[in-house]
């Protein structure tokens, strides 16, 4: 039972929905420009956007007729007299996020609260209590490059599962910082792109895991033809996890390449494709180091009509296995959708 509860904790901590355009085009908000998703990487950019948006996620059932859609997140940002305000529901593990930017800086505050929620079934049936609080600050600087974006963030997370036999509580404290330099006249117009994170995870007041990670990269986000946008970056990184009563796990990202292409077909249709290749070296305690490479790809569509935008990510199941009539794969064509209106 204890193992089952640990699995539920891990799934809860690391699962949340993402925007279709972001997911296809590198899945790294630090590389986006003129896309509201960059707000969550650098809150100082909040005042660039006025929009309302809603997203959904496809939840695969048994057969196409049972394929269901689940609400992802919704919200938006408005600007009044130079000050931007926003609110977003069900985004980034938070039931509510409030966004504020008076012009020179931006702040995002997120909260989450769940009490006495039943989860699991059979031997894994239990009650979940969860709450979290996060805050992030961002601003722009006129140095050390043509200009730069910086962000600082912190989050506290608490999760408790209680079953008929036992209970388990985990808490996590996180701190993060990012810097993005701009060099608009260079082909690689985003350099450097740097992030650093620190987290301390306590499980049942006995298991303590400290994790420190950082990465450094160079990227480009620009139109390479009149109708084609290229978003790409190359990163190196390191992540060290140190359990209090076990050996360290050191992960070295030898090279992490992210790339996405957005091709405009006509005035209302865009095609998107993206790929990520990660080669890393994992050293787990005294065990021999393991070097591996993982490659993933994603595809999507964009539809634009006046101030409306509909973005869609194509289901991975459909891409790998084909439609249900051929493969028996229960997923539909779209994996996630978002609809946005820009003011």
User: Tokens 């060099």 — which residue?
Assistant: 183
User: Of 266, 211, 6, 31, nearest to 126 (Cα)?
Assistant: 6
- Condensed to tens digits (0 to 9), the pLDDT of residues 172-217 reads 999 999 999 999 999 999 999 999 999 999 988 678 999 999 999 9
Asked whether 192 and 218 are in contact (CB, 8 A), the reply is yes
Please check the confidence at residue 53 and state whether its pLDDT lies above 50.
yes
- Condensed to tens digits (0 to 9), the pLDDT of residues 271-317 reads 999 999 999 999 998 888 999 999 999 999 999 999 999 999 987 76
Question: Would you give the distance in Å from CA 117 to the centre of its chain?
Answer: 25
- Condensed to tens digits (0 to 9), the pLDDT of residues 235-277 reads 999 999 998 877 899 999 999 999 999 999 999 999 999 999 9
User: Of 148, 152, 126, nearest to 2 (Cα)?
Assistant: 126
Mean pLDDT lowest among 99-113, 157-171, 217-231, 267-281? 157-171
For residue 58, name the pLDDT band (cuts at 50, 70, 90): low
Query: How far is the C-alpha of 70 from the C-alpha of 327, rounded, in Å?
Result: 24
Asked whether 337 and 20 are in contact (CB, 8 A), the reply is yes
Provide the pLDDT for residue 10.
38
- Condensed to tens digits (0 to 9), the pLDDT of residues 139-157 reads 999 877 889 999 999 999 9
Share above pLDDT 70 across residues of the chain, in percent, rounded to a whole number: 85
Provide the pLDDT for residue 264.
98
For residue 67, name the pLDDT band (cuts at 50, 70, 90): low
Q: Can you list the domains of the chain with their CATH numbers?
A: 2-342 (2.40.160)
Q: What are phi and psi of 185, to 5 degrees?
A: -95, 0
What pTM, to 2 d.p., does this model score? 0.86
Provide the pLDDT for residue 59.
53
Mean pLDDT lowest among 64-73, 220-229, 235-244, 290-299? 64-73
Please check the confidence at residue 168 and state whether its pLDDT lies above 50.
yes
Query: How far is the C-alpha of 62 from the C-alpha of 120, rounded, in Å?
Result: 19
Q: Are strands 105-119 and 126-141 parallel, antiparallel or unpaired?
A: antiparallel
């Amino acid at each position: 039972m204890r193992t089952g509860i640990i699995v539920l904790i891990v799934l809860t901590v690391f699962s949340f929905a993402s925007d279709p355009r972001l997911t296809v085009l590198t899945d790294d908000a630090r590389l986006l420009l003129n896309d509201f998703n960059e707000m969550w990487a650098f809150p100082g950019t909040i005042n660039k956007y006025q929009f309302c948006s809603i997203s959904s996620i496809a939840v695969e059932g048994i057969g196409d007729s049972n394929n269901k859609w689940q609400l992802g997140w919704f919200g938006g940002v408005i600007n009044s007299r130079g000050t931007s305000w926003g609110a977003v529901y069900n985004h980034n593990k938070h039931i509510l996020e409030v966004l504020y930017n008076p012009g020179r800086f931006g702040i995002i505050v997120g909260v989450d609260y769940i009490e006495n929620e039943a989860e699991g079934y059979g031997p894994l049936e239990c009650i979940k209590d969860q709450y979290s609080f996060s805050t992030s600050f961002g601003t722009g600087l006129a140095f050390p490059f043509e200009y730069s974006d910086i962000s600082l963030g912190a989050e506290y997370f608490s999760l408790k599962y209680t079953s008929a036999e036992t209970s388990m509580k985990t808490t996590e404290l996180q701190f993060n910082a990012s810097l993005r330099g701009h060099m608009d006249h260079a082909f690689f117009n985003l350099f450097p792109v740097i992030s650093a994170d620190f987290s301390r995870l306590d499980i049942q007041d006995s298991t303590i895991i400290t994790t420190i990670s950082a990465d450094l990269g160079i990227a480009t986000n620009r139109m390479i033809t009149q109708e084609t946008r290229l978003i790409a970056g190359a990163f190196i990184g390191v992540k060290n996890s140190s359990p209090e009563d076990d050996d360290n796990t050191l992960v070295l990202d030898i090279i992490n390449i992210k790339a996405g292409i957005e091709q405009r077909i006509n005035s209302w249709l865009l095609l998107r494709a993206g790929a990520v290749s990660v080669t890393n070296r994992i050293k787990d305690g005294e065990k021999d180091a393991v070097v591996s490479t993982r490659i993933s790809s994603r595809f999507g569509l964009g539809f634009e009509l006046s101030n409306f935008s509909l973005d869609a990510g194509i289901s991975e199941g459909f891409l790998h296995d084909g439609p249900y009539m051929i493969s028996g794969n229960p997923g539909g064509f779209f994996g996630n959708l978002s609809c946005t209106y820009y003011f």
